Amino acid sequence: MPRIQSEFYFDVKGRARERSLDWAVSVQKAFVIPFSVTGQDRLELVRLISRWLKSMHDHNLVYGDLSWKNVAFSVSPEIRVSIFDFDSTRLIGAPSFTGHGALHTIDWTDPAAVDGPPTLDSDRYRFAALAFRLLVSKDLRASIDPETVPRSLPGLHDTDVQRLTRLWRRACGPSGTRPTLVEWCSALDVPVN
């Protein structure tokens, strides 16, 4: 971050000047990159993110701000993911590590969330949205629509696609009923141990 050129600085109302990686990459490029990789590579990105978020939840940590603005990845020489911006991360029931409150990233807000800090349930919704957008809609602003899931997806068996479709249906349901990351990992064929 300190090496970002000065033209990528921007003013945040009521705060000191800040910088952000999503300003260092043009918005067009940032939104095109995930879809320029193969379906197999997008599936592996989703698998890696599911494994990471499951690990967070296994340790009673809510990430709180899952969106593509906070995920960096590479596909060469191998697929790797790096997550950043832990401002809203918190232990369940505790304030965030940095004292920031609930975040409302445009196009990533859980429609069933209540006001207050992010929860495991809101993390689960955001993961479902990310997986749907990468694997099905290829549109980072799309709403989850289980009725549009095709019968097959690259790299998955038809039975796994059916399981994912059921998980996306539940993800659209009320808070507290969203699939856990263990369920997502299982449907994505990710080892959960």
What pLDDT, in 10s, does the model give residues 95-104? Answer: 887 776 555 5
What percent helix, strand, coil does the chain show, rounded to 5? 40, 10, 50
pLDDT of 24: 42
The Cα–Cα gap between 191 and 33 comes to 27
> What residue spans define the domains of the chain?
17-187
Could you give the angle at the alpha carbon of 46 between the alpha carbons of 176 and 178, nearest 5°?
Answer: 10
Residue among 58, 78, 54, 27 nearest 186 (CA): 54
Pick among 3.40.50.2020, 1.10.510.10, 3.40.50.2300, 1.10.1370.30: CATH of 17-187? 1.10.510.10
110 neighbors 123 (Cβ within 8 angstroms): no
What pLDDT, in 10s, does the model give residues 8-48? Answer: 445 555 554 444 444 444 444 444 445 667 888 889 999 99
The model carries a pTM of 0.81
Provide the mean pLDDT of the chain: 79
